[in-house]
Structure 1
Amino acid sequence: MVRPPLTPAERDRGRRLGALLRSARGDRSPAEVSVASGVSLEVLRKIESGRVPTPTFFTVAALARALDLPLDELAGALDGTGTALSA
């Protein structure tokens, strides 16, 4: 199956997701978050840099759990309906 190209809005949302995760990580190293979440370090780096703008739900859920980010707040921050995350 061929995926349609991502829209500029989807790419922008991916960059915002990466920035939110980087910010929530704080002073924890990417390796610490990788181990805590079960998400590979390479995938985490790609998400944080925006190179993977549409990670799977389970990947985002694992990272949110490791970073203590409620999924509904994360989703709201990404679509502009939520408030700033309290990480």
Structure 2
Amino acid sequence: MVRTPLTPEERERGERLGALLREARGGRSMVEVAAGAGLSPETLRKIETGRAPTPAFFTVAALAEALGLSLDEVVRRCALVPA
């Protein structure tokens, strides 16, 4: 299966998501937050650094819950800004 390349906008949205997660994580370790979300620390690292810019919905939902973020906040902070 060939994956369609991501658009620059999708990559940018992934970078915003990673920044939001790093900010919300604060002083907590990746290991602590990843465990709270039921993910591996490597998965969280990939999302935070933009290497996995389009994580699955339930992955984002689990991270949001572990970090005390609402999904509305995640969408608001990561959505594409109209030109």
TM-score (norm 1): 0.88
Any unmatched runs of 5+ in structure 1? 82-87
Query: 5 Å matches for 1:41-60?
Result: 41-60=41-60
Alpha-carbon distance in 2 for matches of 1:2, 1:50: 20
Equivalent residue pairs, number: 81
* Aligned position for 2:78: 78
What is the DSSP-based 3-state SS (H/G/I as helix, E as strand, rest coil) of the residue aligned with 1:72? helix
**One-letter amino acid of the structure 2 residue matched with residue 39 of structure 1:** L
Partner of 1:85: none
| DSSP 3-state at the match of 2:6 | coil
Task: Between the two structures, name the one with larger relative contact order (CA 8 Å, sep ≥ 6).
Answer: 2
Paired residue type of 2:57: F
Using the TM superposition, give the Cα deviation of residue 3 of structure 1 relative to its aligned residue in structure 2, in angstroms: 2.1
CA displacement 1:28-74 (0-9 Å, x = unmatched) = 00010011110111000000000000000010000000001000111
Once the two structures are TM-superposed, the CA of residue 2 in structure 1 deviates from its matched residue by 2.3
**Partner Cα distance (1:6, 1:29) in 2:** 29
Cα RMSD over matched residues?
A: 1.2
User: Could you tell me the TM-score, scaled by structure 2's length?
Assistant: 0.92
Q: Which runs of 4+ in 1 moved over 4 A?
A: none
> Are 2:13 and 2:80, in contact at CA under 8 Å, matched by a contact in 1?
no
Same amino acid, percent of matched pairs: 64
* Structure 2, unpaired ranges of 5+: none
